[in-house]
Chains A and B, each alone.
Chain A
Amino acid sequence: MTIKYLDKYPKNLAKSLWVVKPSWTVFKLFCKTVAHRPVTVLYPYEKEWVPDNYRGRPGLRFDKCVGCGMCARMCPTACIKLVDAVDDEGKTVKRPQVNMGRCAMCGYCAEYCPVDAMTVTPEYEIAEYTRFDLLYGPRRLNYDKTTPGMEVKLEVTLPSDIANGNPERRVSLFDLDRPELTDSKCIGCKKCAKVCPVSAITMVEKGTNEKTGKPILRPEIDNSKCICCRNCVDDCPKDALEIKEVL
């Protein structure tokens, strides 16, 4: 039996002998955990440190939000809905409402928010007694202690950039896309100008219709104002607008 054992474990006999090695390992760990604290964190009494950009519940800066609906569009669990809210000046505006019962805490809403109004927060204890309590309205979603670290940016590294020796990340690359008009399809209904949350679209007269004598209206997009929210593209009844990639 001994020979068999030696055949099986030929190296370092003294340490691998029977029970010595595991006992020694355990004893070392015991000494370590007696001297220092064990890895266990007593959760309700003490909490682990969370970083600023910890993806807890989404938070909203009400005044900064423009109501573009990008968060609702990007939400993978469809828990965000735009609802009417009254802002500080008494006007009715659109603001997101988050159903925390469905929220996966992925932080996409914060990533895609073009004005960084939607942020992630380090809050993760959001248990409630009823499902209704889990609906966070725009005002409840507001998070006062927002720091710059909580604004999650959508950072992209392009393969072409790396090939050109420029490894720096581009921030909010997709916000640079712009809607483009196909002139022949447009009927000048002004819908795009109405839905634009930042008023980047103005209707401009481009001559007069020969049959009816009415002015021909075409949208003109102010690229400095556009936040690439695609509301105009979605609402266009004739599909005259489409997003064009701008780099």
Chain B
Amino acid sequence: MDLVVEYNSLLNFINFGELGLMDNAYYPFDTYNLPYAICYRLWEVLGGTIAWLLNLLFPDNGVSRWLIGEGASTLFALILFMLVMFIVVFVCTLISLWMERKCLGRMMDRRGTMVGMKGFLQCVADGLKTFMKENTLPGKIDRMTYMWTVSLVIGVSVLVACMVPLSARWYVVDYDTGLLIIMAFFALAPFFILVSGWAQNNKYALIGGMRAAELMISYEVPMLIMIATTALLAGSFNIGDIVYAQNDTVWFFIPQIIGFITFFFCATAESERLPFDIAEAEAELVEGWQTEYAGMKWGLIMLADYFRGYVACAMVTIMYLGGWTLPFIGDGPIPEIVFLLKTWFVFFLMILIRAALARVRPDQILNIGWKVFMPLSVINLAVVLLLKVGGVF
């Protein structure tokens, strides 16, 4: 079991590989997984304490022995693992939310949020405030669709955010088609938004839902072409392979500079951020497709929006900015931090675009999608094909 060594560099000092957890018969991953190792260690402390206390009360009982056995340890470690994966992504999203508010404030020559810790606690305050709100439902809605679609939008966003690997040792599932699966889940939300807009029995929500569908048909095709281009260049859909292919050659934004810019804007549209937030468009439609959602439902939708923004930035980082690697260093000691810093840098660019540009009209988005993004993505594909055929990559 020396799979750890494959990506380890000498600087990789955070190493739980000696725990022997990969000798566990129920070890759920193929390679070394850092969050799982942390959770396993945590459960060894927690479960061991519980088992010890139970053993004090009832000497030599079966439950204690089961708790420290291999199977139960793996089970509880996986439960803790889920929590850790979510909390890390959640905190990263909150930080990007804070960054957006603060940077956007500075770009508009104002202060941004001010509540505690340079404004970071404003997120907590907003969360508490929406949590305290009454959970109202409008009268004439299609209740089942209304609740299901919002749950799916939020659920899919959170799922996709947790699926993004932070490094070769920080992942949930290491798919061979990881990029495709993430983009597929990522592209599901507009369908639910369309159905949700229909279910709310509200003209603004309906227009918002229609616009979400319109937005999707304009950016999705060029975006998929560019994903295929990147996969072509790297020779794999596996996220780790794509990242290490960039580490071996150059970051892909150098050969695919057209694709990088186009994908960046497509990703902005995918996460429904300005200037492509025509589905929400709070200046024209009241709150777009979210109009009839009250209280914590709305709060979670907003949070899911930022999850999607985070995933879009992570996609740009993985596909064009070398993921968690650094030139000449490779993985480095803490590749997760490198990855997050790159993601936040891309998010900063998104904030810049948001502050600089006005919202596009629904007819303009179709023009941009089919007359600008589409040719650019095809040109990008042609460039990559030439490079591939010419033997550069």
Shortest C-beta distance, B267 to chain A (Å), equals 15
Residue of B nearest to A19 (CB): B357
Cβ of A14 < 8 Å from any Cβ of B?
A: no
* A23 close to B356 (CB less than 8 A): yes
* A30 close to B103 (CB less than 8 A): yes
Residue of B nearest to A25 (CB): B356
Question: What range describes how many residues of B lie at the interface?
Answer: 10 to 19
Question: A1-24 toward B: CB 8 Å interface, digit per residue (1/0)?
Answer: 100000000000000000100110
* B106 close to A22 (CB less than 8 A): no
Question: B198-210 toward A: CB 8 Å interface, digit per residue (1/0)?
Answer: 0000000000000
- A20 and B247 alpha carbons, distance in the complex (Å): 29
* B114 close to A42 (CB less than 8 A): yes
Stretch at the interface among A33-41, A58-66, A169-177: A33-41
**Given A19-B356, A22-B356: A34 in contact with B111 (beta carbons within 8 A):** no
Residue of B nearest to A34 (CB): B106
**Given A1-B371, A42-B114: A29 in contact with B107 (beta carbons within 8 A):** yes
In the complex, chain B residues whose CB is within 8 Å of the CB of A23: 352-353, 356-357
Cβ of B109 < 8 Å from any Cβ of A?
A: yes
* A33 close to B107 (CB less than 8 A): yes
Which residues of B in the span 16-72 have a Cβ within 8 Å of any Cβ on A?
none
What is the number of residues of chain A that contact chain B, defined by CB distance less than 8 Å?
15
Shortest C-beta distance, B380 to chain A (Å), equals 17
In the complex, chain B residues whose CB is within 8 Å of the CB of A22: 356-357
Question: B101-134 toward A: CB 8 Å interface, digit per residue (1/0)?
Answer: 0010111011100100000000000000000000
Cβ of A26 < 8 Å from any Cβ of B?
A: yes
Residue of A nearest to B112 (CB): A38
- A38 and B110 alpha carbons, distance in the complex (Å): 5
Which residues of A in the span 41-65 have a Cβ within 8 Å of any Cβ on B?
42
- A85 and B217 alpha carbons, distance in the complex (Å): 80
- A33 and B105 alpha carbons, distance in the complex (Å): 9
In the complex, chain B residues whose CB is within 8 Å of the CB of A19: 353, 356-357
Cβ of A124 < 8 Å from any Cβ of B?
A: no
* A26 close to B114 (CB less than 8 A): no
* B106 close to A33 (CB less than 8 A): yes
Shortest C-beta distance, B108 to chain A (Å), equals 8
**Given A19-B353, A19-B357: A26 in contact with B107 (beta carbons within 8 A):** yes
Question: A192-219 toward B: CB 8 Å interface, digit per residue (1/0)?
Answer: 0000000000000000000000000000
* A38 close to B111 (CB less than 8 A): yes
- A26 and B358 alpha carbons, distance in the complex (Å): 13
* B109 in complex: contacting residue of A1, A27, A29, A42, CB < 8 Å: A29
Chain B residues within 8 Å of A, Cβ to Cβ: 103, 105-107, 109-111, 114, 352-353, 355-357, 371
Chain A residues within 8 Å of B, Cβ to Cβ: 1, 19, 22-23, 25-27, 29-30, 33-34, 38-40, 42
The list of the 9 closest CB pairs from A to B, nearest first, reads A22-B356, A26-B356, A23-B356, A33-B106, A40-B110, A26-B355, A30-B107, A40-B111, A38-B109
> Besides the contacts A26-B352, A39-B110, what 18 more A-B pairs have beta carbons closer than 8 Å?
A19-B353, A19-B356, A19-B357, A22-B356, A25-B356, A26-B356, A29-B106, A29-B109, A30-B106, A30-B107, A30-B355, A33-B109, A34-B106, A38-B105, A38-B106, A40-B109, A40-B111, A42-B114
12 contacts between A and B (CB under 8 A): A19-B353, A19-B356, A23-B352, A26-B355, A29-B107, A30-B103, A30-B106, A30-B107, A30-B352, A33-B107, A38-B109, A38-B110
